[in-house]
A = this chain, B = another copy of it.
Amino acid sequence: NMSATTLKGQPLDKAVLDAMLRRRMFYTPSFEIYGGVGGLYDFGPPGCSLLTNITDIWRKHFILEEDMLEVDCTVLTPHEVLKTSGHVDKFADWMCKDPKNGEILRADHFVEAVLEARLKGDKEARGLKVEEKDDPKKKKKKAKSEAIKLDDALVKEYEEVLARIDNYGGPELGELIKKYDLRNPETGELPSDPVSFNLMFQTTIGPSSNSPGYLRPETAQGQFLNFAKLLEFNQGGMPFASASIGKSYRNEISPRAGLLRVREFLMAEIEHFVDPQGGKKHHRFPDVADVELVFLDRETQLAGKTETRKVAVGEAVKSGLVDNETLGYFLARIHLFLAKIGVDQSKLRFRQHMQNEMAHYAVDCWDAELLTSSGWIECVGCADRSAYDLNVHAKKTGAALVVRSRLDEPITIEEWEVDVEKKKFGPLFKKDAKTVEAALMASSQEDREKLAKELKDNGKATITVEGYGDGKAEIPSDAIRIEFRKRVEHTREFTPNVIEPSFGIGRILYALIEHNFWTRGSEGTDEARGVLSFPPPVAPTKVLIVPLSSNQSFKPHLKKLSQRLRSIGISSRVDDSSASIGKRYSRNDELGTPLGITIDFQTLQDNTFTLRDRDSTSQVRAEEDKIVEAIKSLVDSSKTWADIQKELPAFEGQEVDVAVREK
């Protein structure tokens, strides 16, 4: 099931595609003349245009269409923020080192690769058919297999280890390496014990060495920290969403899969803030309820299967397959976005995360996966993160990251309340006063009751404060007051939950290239010419303008036409090189340019042009105004090429003939 296909169902020859992408400078290894750096790529002109067009469509589809609040936060992030979010402690992989050649191995990938190679060798020894396993999450280096039969019990053990591979920590991976004598195929050596390697790039902000910081691993944290300001900007209205397009960074241990696993990447993330009460409804859900999505749910995966089913999202939410309307709404919107930019619908599925795959606080999580020559690749994640992030930052800083909404009926509340006597409290804890106060304010009702008793009995109370001294703060009874009080509330205060659709733009871009790639035979030769059939709004350049020859009399037409197209916002390129028209069109088929205009001697007489369709190579001919009108309607997708063919007369001149005729 790994054999990838082109847009037309041909087997996809990755080497041919890669050579073409390189030749046309879609992207290229960064710093190549210095030998390159793993996991870093530069985008050349067509890749850059693709990036711009995809993010532009994204911005219209999500931000403008839904009145989201766009923010642009810094990549540099101080230590404390990512300590609170959990990234400093948990955003890490386990790595080992080969003692002989110094190769650094990602421990889980290494164990997986060696065991899989052994199982494959066992199958070969048993004369069974070996099926390539598709691996949606990791692009690991494959170990070579030898046909050696294993004990039946050992096969079972290996299979169990592989099924649980995501659950092992470093020490357990180290034990597995020793227990099964897993040696690096490159050297025959046992790798070192796994050590934890944090995936964030670390740096220092400012000249003082005690201000550590990181390059953000996601854009989300900046959006959470601005929550209170965004709520105010939105004039208190709920629900609302913020959104951000920007680079994030992950210091991958050994990136190997081209654009699919890189160290610097463009993300587009939405944080939709919603009231956790009332079932997380979405007022535009009815608009998408009929959109059918291809689901691969948790239960199916638990049963070791990958069968998908197509269900309307309205039905999926109703049956509980998708947790709530807001999550379902975004899954449908993600689907519509991917369809709009030209993703092959037959190569798209929504895979639900397994329980152990999600963060402990997540309610539900789905990945939009796209099928590529590297298997199913997570390109968009869509998670319900509950109130986790706002809660941890509020707790740490004391900031009120909450919504206050007016109640229709006031309610009476009786509970333990804490008052801080600032004048005593401040001098007592000095620079830590805010931290200690935040811990007090975050204390539970049970804790407060106990503290009140302590204060009464001992004249002081001790509270646990993370990050303060030895973790305990002793507070005398004249610095705080804790009382059980009754009050009437006219407003409700709550911490919103967050639904987070998160897009890896580079991965989407790469999958889009594979989905739109195909080859066609060149007439009279065996050569297969590459074509990238991007939809016009996504295509890097919309129109290629080719003069029949370098004859000077064509120049004014070239200039006039490209200016006219530019004035209506349509990008064009002139190719007045000496190559044949066929060659010039070929080059632009590889660049994915959907339309081509030829200027020939007839143009000089009657101001008509031929217009060529990239996908069919068929042509029409008409005078300037009609050609420009046709281009406009094709680029804004209001018409198809078939429509244009009905409206304008066909032009039958062969591409190759045209080039020859003049000579």
A residues in contact (CB < 8 Å) with B: 24-25, 28, 30-34, 37-45, 47-49, 51-52, 59, 64-65, 67, 69-78, 80-81, 95, 104, 197, 201-208, 211, 213, 215, 222, 225-226, 228-230, 232-233, 235, 247, 249, 251-254, 263-264, 393, 396-397, 399, 401, 566, 571, 573-575, 577
Chain B positions within 8 Å of A574 at CB level: 67
Known: A42-B222, A207-B95. Is A34-B197 also a contact (CB below 8 A)? no
Determine the chain B residues whose CB is within 8 A of the CB of A59 once the complex forms.
Answer: 52
Complex CA–CA separation, A225 to B42 (angstroms): 10
Do the beta carbons of B34 and A225 come within 8 Å of each other? yes
Select A205's contact among B37, B197, B204, B254, beta carbons within 8 Å: B37
A-B contact pairs, 16 of them (CB 8 A): A25-B230, A28-B229, A32-B225, A33-B393, A33-B399, A34-B225, A34-B396, A37-B78, A49-B70, A67-B573, A67-B574, A95-B207, A197-B207, A202-B204, A206-B254, A235-B577
A207 touches B247 (CB 8 A): no
Q: How far is the CA of A233 from the CA of B48 in the complex (A)?
A: 14
| Chain B residues with CB under 8 A of A30 | 73-74, 222, 225
Given A104-B208, A201-B203, A397-B34, A76 and B226 contact (CB-CB distance below 8 Å) = no
Instruction: Give A59 to B51 CA distance when docked, in angstroms.
Output: 14
Of chain B, the residue at the smallest CB distance from A200 is B203
**Smallest CB gap from A227: residue in B:** B33
Q: Which residues of B contact A64 (CB under 8 A)?
A: 566, 571
**Chain B contacts for A42, CB-based, 8 A:** 71-74, 222, 226
Query: Which of A28, A31, A73 is packed against the most chain B CB atoms within 10 Å?
Result: A31
CB-based contact B70/A48 at 8 Å: yes
Name the B residues within 8 Å of A208 (CB-CB).
104
Distance, CA A47 to CA B226, complexed state (A): 14
- A539 → chain B closest CB, angstroms: 14
- Knowing A104-B208, A206-B253, A247-B247 are in contact, say whether A225-B31 is a contact too (CB < 8 A): yes
Residue of B nearest to A51 (CB): B72
Residues of B within 8 A of A225 (CB): 30-34
A32-B71 Cα distance, complex, nearest whole Å: 15
Chain B residues near A49 (CB, 8 Å)? 70
Chain B residues in 8 Å Cβ range of A52: 59, 70
Q: How far is the CB of A247 from chain B (nearest CB, A)?
A: 7
Closest chain-B Cβ to A296's Cβ sits at a distance in Å of: 33
Q: Is the CB of A47 within 8 A of B72?
A: yes
A65 contact from B39, B202, B222, B566, Cβ within 8 A:
B566
| Assembly CA distance A74 to B203 (angstroms) | 17
Indicate if the CB atoms of A40 and B76 lie closer than 8 Å. yes
For the residues of A in contact with B, the DSSP-based class is mixed
Most buried by B among A39, A51, A72, A399: A72
Given A28-B229, A45-B233, the answer on whether A253 and B207 have CB atoms closer than 8 Å is yes
Contacts of A44 in B (CB 8 A): 69, 71, 226, 229-230, 233
Contacts of A247 in B (CB 8 A): 75, 247
* Cβ–Cβ < 8 Å partners of A40 in chain B: 74, 76, 205
Are the C-beta atoms of B31 and A45 separated by less than 8 Å? no
Instruction: Say which residue of B25, B34, B71, B201 sits within 8 Å of A229 (CB atoms).
Output: B25
- A577 nearest CB across to chain B (Å): 5
| Given contacts A264-B76, A397-B33, A203 and B222 within 8 Å (CB-CB) | no
Per CB-CB distance, the 4 closest pairs between chain A and chain B, nearest first, are A33-B399, A43-B72, A48-B70, A42-B73
Shortest A274–chain B CB gap in Å is 19
A92 → chain B closest CB, angstroms? 11
Asked if A205 and B235 make an inter-chain contact with CB atoms under 8 angstroms apart, the answer reads no
**Contact pick for A76, options B201, B205, B213, CB 8 Å:** B201
Instruction: Tell me, in angstroms, the Cα distance from A528 to B204 when the chains sit together.
Output: 43
A340 to chain B, nearest CB (A): 15
- B residues near A43, Cβ cutoff 8 Å: 71-73
Given A45-B69, A64-B571, A201-B203, 7 more A-B residue pairs with CB atoms under 8 Å apart are: A25-B233, A33-B397, A34-B78, A40-B74, A45-B230, A95-B207, A204-B251
Task: Determine the residue in chain B with the shortest Cβ distance to A67.
Answer: B573
> Complex formed: what's the CA distance from A33 to B77 in Å?
13
Q: CA separation between A235 and B229, bound complex, in Å?
A: 50
Complex CA gap A351/B235 in Å reads 44
B residues in contact with A34, CB < 8 Å = 78, 80-81, 225, 396-397
Nearest B-chain residue to A265, judged by Cβ: B74
A211 CB contacts on chain B under 8 angstroms:
37
A203 touches B202 (CB 8 A): yes
Kindly provide the distance from the CB of A614 to the nearest chain B CB, expressed in whole angstroms. 19
Given A42-B71, A104-B207, A226-B44, residue A31 in contact with residue B78 (CB < 8 A): yes
Q: Which residue of B lies closest to A262 (CB)?
A: B74
Closest-by-CB residue of B relative to A244 is B48
A205 to chain B: closest residue by CB:
B37
Known A31-B81, A34-B81, A104-B207; contact A41-B74, beta-carbon cutoff 8 A: yes
Docked pose: A76 CA to B29 CA in angstroms: 13
Q: How far is the CA of A95 from the CA of B209 in the complex (A)?
A: 14
Q: Which residues on the B side are within 8 Å of A104 (C-beta)?
A: 206-208
